[in-house]
């Protein structure tokens, strides 16, 4: 099999555009202008107006409306810097951005998630925002959140929305079982969580449903609670995979619940998060570990009278520590209007606007001013529980690891799926994650 080019190799080829090709492209642009009399390239023209393209990944109706409304508000206040809203898609964002970057057609302002930025940042596709960031943004967003978008000596995105993983629970079943209800101050430990799910099981019901069609992110991020890291760096800064005791707590718990305790349904291992909701509403699963934003789907889809609540995820030796990959806003390196793009981002992420965005996506803002807003501390839909967990969130373990997407897809995902189902044991899982995984990472670190 031919070795696939690493992102670094793709970048070097993309940058070595032949001079003749550049001249030809420039001549075509001039010819088009002469023939049509239009302004050049849509980013600024004879009228002196700077035009920016903002590609948003908002997808829920409420969130899309808020994003578009903020663009309208900006445009009304800034006639000389107009922003065009472009709708993107989470399912295809990485490949779509890579194609647009390499083709010189990237939007000026890029909405993405922090765990997708590393290859783009190292590849030279994203602008270093270090000298562009206004002081207000720098100081309002905590250092732990900035670490999610920092690569080498630069900052390549503004983290603005995040969500912890929580337990969505059937309140009636909890009351009937008599189990202790956990709080952020006194969460369940992983062993206690396992005992609780056994107690909640029986009569055609499972204590928990683990939707692990995409198992890697959940496993790594929840592993932080037990001191897991999975990725470690040597003295030269090279990353390696080590599947140690802290990393093993969460996957061993899931395997035991599915295969020995029978407190978790094995069929849910191949499900997406949304797939488990009908069974949750129907009482087949007492609890489902999901992202905090899934509360919106529960509110919209649950049958009338369904009694539910949000609980913190289990805690380990590191408490409720949890990894997150915030949503981000970046600026394309090729954008000729970086200062104007940053001015729009600064406006878009003012504290009142960040609150609007958080409520629209049912997530948490990274900004400390926005997070303190009373609207995010209500007991309705357990907003207050989410904000209580915010200080425990830190960068996901794989945040800056080059080669992580390939390791995840080709090595970790199939290995974890086989382990959870009982097809392989812990020793085989460890060998595949480390031995096969480090071969993958080594190719990206030559």
CATH number of domain containing 171: 3.40.190.10
Going by their DSSP bridges, the two strands 308-312 and 364-365 should be labelled as unpaired
Together in a domain, 16 and 142 = yes
Model pLDDT, residue 60? 86
Does residue 384 belong to any structural domain of this protein? no
Residue 213 lies in a domain: yes
How does pLDDT run along the chain (446 residues), one tens digit per residue? 333 333 333 333 333 333 334 334 333 333 333 333 333 344 555 789 999 999 999 998 899 999 999 999 999 999 999 999 999 999 899 999 999 999 999 999 999 999 899 889 989 999 999 999 999 999 999 999 999 999 888 999 999 999 999 999 999 999 999 999 999 999 999 999 999 999 999 989 999 999 999 999 999 999 999 999 999 998 888 999 999 999 999 999 999 999 999 999 999 999 999 999 999 999 999 999 999 999 999 999 999 999 999 999 999 999 999 999 999 999 999 999 999 999 999 999 999 999 999 999 999 999 999 999 999 999 999 999 999 999 999 998 888 888 888 999 999 999 999 999 999 999 999 999 999 999 999 998 87
Does 107 share its domain with 217? no
Residue 388 lies in a domain: no
Parallel, antiparallel, or unpaired: how do β-strands 50-56 and 109-113 relate? Answer: parallel
The pLDDT score that the predictor gives to residue 445 is: 86
Q: How far is CA 161 from the centre of its chain?
A: 9
pLDDT attached to residue 12: 32
67 in a structural domain: yes
Same domain? 70 vs 169 = no
In this prediction, residue 2 carries a pLDDT of 34
Q: What is the pLDDT of residue 400?
A: 82
Tokens coding 169: 């629970």
CA gap 115, 97 in Å, rounded: 14
> Of 281, 302, 291, 282, which Cα lies nearest the Cα of 211?
291
Contact 379, 306 (CB under 8 A): no
| Cα angle for residues 4, 8, 10 (degrees, 5° grid) | 60
pLDDT at residue 45, as a whole number = 58
Taking the model in full, what pTM does it have? Answer: 0.86
> What sign for the dihedral angle of Cα 257, 258, 262, 266?
positive
What would the two tokens of residue 263 be? 């407190």
Same domain, yes or no: 33 and 135: yes
What is the number of other CB atoms lying within 10 angstroms of the CB of residue 231? 21
Same domain, 316 and 184: yes
Tell me: do 130 and 189 sit in the same domain.
no
List, in order, residues 6 or more apart from 173 with CB less than 8 Å away: 200, 205, 283, 286
Are both 369 and 277 inside the same structural domain? no
- Give yes or no: residues 261 and 372 share one domain: no
Count of the separate structural domains present in the chain = 2
Identify whether the C-beta of residue 168 lies closer than 8 Å to the C-beta of residue 294.
yes
Q: Which domain holds residue 406?
A: 165-324+399-444
Same domain, yes or no: 363 and 235: no
Name the residue among 83, 55, 149, 11 with its Cα closest to residue 337: 83
Q: Would you say residue 383 lies in a domain?
A: no
Q: Has residue 360 been placed in a domain?
A: yes
Q: Is the dihedral of CA 152, 140, 389, 385 positive or negative?
A: negative
Ramachandran sector of residue 271 (left: φ over 0; alpha: ψ -120 to 50; beta: rest)? beta
Do 124 and 150 sit in the same domain of this protein? yes
- Looking at residue 43, its pLDDT comes to 57
Exposure of 14 by Cβ count < 10 A (0-12 exposed, 13-18 middle, 19+ buried)? middle
Rounded to a whole number, what is the largest CA-CA distance in the chain? 78
**Same domain for 96 and 19?**
yes
Residue 229 has a pLDDT of 93
The one-character DSSP state at 83 is E
Dihedrals φ, ψ of 87, to 5°?
A: -85, 125
Spatial contact of 133 and 342, defined as CB atoms under 8 Å apart: yes
The CB-side HSE value for 285 (13 A sphere, CA atoms) comes to: 26
Whether residue 235 is contained in a domain is answered as yes
Asked if the structure places residue 234 within a domain, the reply is: yes
Tell me, yes or no, whether 265 and 120 share the same domain.
no
């Amino acid at each position: 099999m031919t070795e696939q080019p690493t992102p670094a190799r793709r970048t070097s080829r993309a940058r070595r555009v032949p001079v003749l090709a550049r001249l030809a492209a420039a001549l075509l642009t001039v010819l088009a202008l002469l023939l049509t009399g239009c302004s050049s390239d849509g980013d600024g023209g004879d009228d002196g107006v700077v035009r920016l393209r903002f590609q948003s990944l908002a997808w829920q109706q409420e969130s899309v409306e808020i994003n578009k409304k903020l663009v309208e508000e900006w445009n009304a206040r800034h006639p000389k810097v107009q922003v065009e809203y472009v709708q993107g898609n989470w399912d295809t964002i990485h490949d779509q951005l890579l194609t647009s970057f390499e083709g010189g057609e990237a939007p000026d302002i890029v909405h993405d998630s922090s765990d997708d930025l590393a290859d783009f940042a190292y590849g030279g596709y994203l602008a270093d925002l270090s000298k562009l960031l206004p002081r207000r943004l720098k100081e309002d967003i905590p250092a732990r959140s900035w670490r999610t978008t920092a690569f080498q000596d630069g900052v390549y995105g503004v983290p603005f929305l995040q969500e912890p993983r929580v337990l969505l629970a059937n309140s009636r079943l909890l009351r009937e079982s008599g189990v202790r209800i956990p709080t952020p101050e006194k969460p369940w430990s992983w062993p206690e969580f396992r005992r609780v799910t056994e107690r909640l099981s029986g009569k055609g019901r499972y204590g928990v449903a683990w939707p692990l069609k995409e198992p890697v992110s959940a496993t790594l991020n929840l592993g932080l609670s037990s001191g897991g890291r999975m990725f470690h760096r040597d003295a030269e800064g090279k990353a390696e995979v080590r599947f140690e005791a802290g990393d093993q707590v969460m996957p061993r718990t899931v395997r035991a619940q599915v295969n020995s305790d029978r407190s978790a349904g094995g069929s849910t291992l191949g499900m997406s998060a949304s797939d488990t909701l009908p069974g949750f509403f129907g009482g087949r699963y007492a609890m489902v570990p999901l992202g905090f934003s899934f509360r919106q789907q529960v509110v919209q889809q649950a049958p009338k009278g369904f009694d539910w609540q949000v609980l913190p995820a289990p805690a380990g030796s590191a408490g409720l520590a949890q990894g997150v990959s915030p949503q981000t806003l970046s600026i394309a390196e090729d954008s000729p209007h970086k200062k104007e793009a940053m001015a729009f981002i600064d406006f878009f992420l003012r504290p009142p606007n960040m609150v609007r965005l958080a409520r629209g996506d049912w997530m948490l803002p990274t900004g400390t001013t926005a997070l303190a807003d009373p609207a995010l501390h209500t007991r309705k839909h357990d907003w207050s529980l989410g904000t209580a967990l915010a200080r425990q969130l830190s960068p996901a373990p794989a945040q800056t690891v080059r080669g992580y997407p390939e390791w995840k897809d080709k090595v970790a995902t199939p290995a974890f799926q086989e382990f959870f189902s009982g097809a392989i044991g812990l020793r085989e899982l460890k060998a595949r994650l480390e031995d096969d995984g480090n071969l993958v990472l080594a190719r990206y670190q030559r």
